[in-house]
Structure 1
């Protein structure tokens, strides 16, 4: 139920839009499955900018994880 939080949905949509053709859908799903949606929202609240951008930055951080090979750069 928490995965339907509006900020998380907007963040995922923004991530997909910004990184279209650059990200792995499988990796995104796998990485997001490891993080509770409320955690994403709590971290995004500490950030600045629009809700979609704050959540997208958290999703990018989660997507990148510790991998240098699979990391994507921050885009706006």
Structure 2
């Protein structure tokens, strides 16, 4: 995967940080994970990202996908 695919492709683009924060609060209110907003260096829009310690995702390995839990350091 390229840096662009990881950072931008397939993510919702918000026009402002306030719109992104509003959506993050809505997701959290529905019982979802905590998110924060960041400015994308590729599309210059705003995306949501998991807060450190709250991300659970699959990482592709030669032996198939592996569940990863991010922990705050």
Identify the TM-score tier after normalising by the shorter chain: under 0.3
For normalisation by structure 1, the TM-score amounts to 0.27
Q: Greater relative contact order (Cα 8 A, min sep 6): structure 1 or 2?
A: 1
Larger Rg: 2
Task: Name the structure where strand makes up a greater proportion of residues.
Answer: 2
For normalisation by structure 2, the TM-score amounts to 0.27
